[in-house]
Amino acid sequence: MSEIVLYPSNWLYNAGVVGFLHSLQEVEKIQVEGFLKEDGTVVLPANLFAQLNWDLRYFSETRLAAITGQAKIYRNYWQPSWDKSAFGAYVAALENLRESSLHSCSVCGRNFEIPEPHLQALVQRFSFLKTFLSGVSTFDVRLNMMLAPSIGEFPNSLWNLRSGSCVCPLCSFLLVHQHLSFLELIDSDGKASTSVFVNAPSFKVMWYLNRLVKEVYSREKISFVRELLGVSLIEFAMRVNAQLGMWTKMNIEVVSWKRDGTIDFYVLPYQVADLLLDWRVASLLSDIGEFSVLKMVLEERFYEIVELGEKIMAIGIKRKNEWGKQEKAYINQHLRLSRNKDRPDNLVNFASRLFSLYALIQEKQGVKGNER
C-alpha cells in the first residue's frame, strides 16, 4: 500500500491517531493538514514511517513519549536492555503494512499486519523483536498502564476492547501517542486534575476542535468541560466550519480522564451542537460574550434568554442613577463584561442581542420542526 487510510473508531484509537499527527508536526515539522480528508478519514503516505526520527521521538531527553521500562503510561513497552535501533526498524517496517483477512484488531477493527518476509527480516536482525511484537499485540499495561487493568469497566465508546484482546502492529505504535491529544486542565490549587480530549466521527473535526480547545483554555482558563467545549465550538463555527458543514450533524463527546483513573464522557446534545455550529448563532454568542448566556444555550434553557433580556431592558431604559441596589446586583449576577453593563445604552444593546439570539434559536427550531 502506498497509502494507509485510517477511519475514526473508538476514542482511545482516535486520540492515538490525532496524537501521532501532532507528533509529526512537532518533531518532523510535517504539515499534516493535507492528510485530513473531508470524509473524516486520515490518509497517510506509507513511506512516512521510514522518515520518523525515532531516536528523538522516543529515546531522547525531549522525547514525546516515554516507552522504556517503568514508564508512567506505556509501562514496559520497550525493555531498557534492547537495542533502540530495533525500534526504529519496527517503525520503518510499518510502511509495508498490508490488510489481511486473518485477525481483526480490537482497537481499529481492521486487519493490518507486517507481511511475513518483512517480519522475518526484522526478527533475523533483532531476535528480541519477536518478544516485543508479541507483547504489544495484546492490550495490557504496555499500551496503557492506567487503562489496561480496568478496561472492562468502560463500556462507553471502547466498544470491543478488552484487556488481552488482539492489537495490530499499527495500533501498537499509534497508541503510544494518545496522551499527546489530551489537554491537562489545572485545578484552582495549581495541580493537573483532569485531561480532556474531544472525540468526534471525523479526524479533521477532531484535529481542529482539539486545537481550538487548547487555544481557548490557554486564553480563558475555563475548566468546566461543557463550557470549554461550548466556547471552542463557537470559534470552530466562526473559523473552520465553512468547509466542514456536513460534520455538524454528528456526535461530539468530551472524554475526561481524571487523576484518580476514572473516565467520564460528556456528550453534547445534537440540537445544542447544531445551534453552536450555526455561524449566526455562534457570532451572536461570541458578540454577547457572557458565560451566563452560553450556559443557557448549553443547558437548553432558551426561554431564560428572553427573561434575562426583558429584565435587563427594563433596567437599561432607566438612568444609571436610578438603578436600585437589587437591579445592580441582578446585573452583576448575570453580566461580567463592562462593555455589556456599564451604561444604560449598553444594557439596551445587550438585551436586543439576547432577543435576536432567541429569535434565531426559535427560527432554527422551527425549521427543524418543519423538517420532521
- Contacts to Zn ion by CB under 5 A: 105, 107-108, 168, 171
Distance CA 58, CA 111 (A): 26
Q: DSSP string covering 277-342, please?
A: TSHHHHHHHHHH--HHHHHHHHTT-THHHHHHHHHHHHHHTS-GGG--HHHHHHHHHH---HHHHS
Q: Between residues 108 and 147, which has the closer beta carbon with respect to Zn ion?
A: 108
Element holding 163 (H helix, E strand):
none
Q: Order of strands, edge to edge, in the sheet holding 263-268?
A: 183-186, 192-199, 252-258, 263-268
Q: Between residues 52 and 107, which has the closer beta carbon with respect to Zn ion?
A: 107
Helix ranges, the chain (H): 11-26, 54, 84-93, 116-125, 129-135, 169-174, 203-220, 225-239, 270-276, 279-288, 291-298, 303-316, 325-334, 338-341, 344-371
Residue nearest to Zn ion (CB): 105
Question: Minimum Å distance from CB 166 to Zn ion?
Answer: 9
Question: Minimum Å distance from CB 94 to Zn ion?
Answer: 11
CB atoms within 10 A of CB 92: 17
Q: Between residues 114 and 183, which has the closer beta carbon with respect to Zn ion?
A: 114
Question: Minimum Å distance from CB 107 to Zn ion?
Answer: 5
Q: Between residues 201 and 344, which has the closer beta carbon with respect to Zn ion?
A: 201
Question: Minimum Å distance from CB 173 to Zn ion?
Answer: 10
Q: Between residues 168 and 228, which has the closer beta carbon with respect to Zn ion?
A: 168
Question: Minimum Å distance from CB 192 to Zn ion?
Answer: 29
Distance CA 94, CA 115 (A): 10
Question: Minimum Å distance from CB 171 to Zn ion?
Answer: 3
3-state SS class at 258: strand
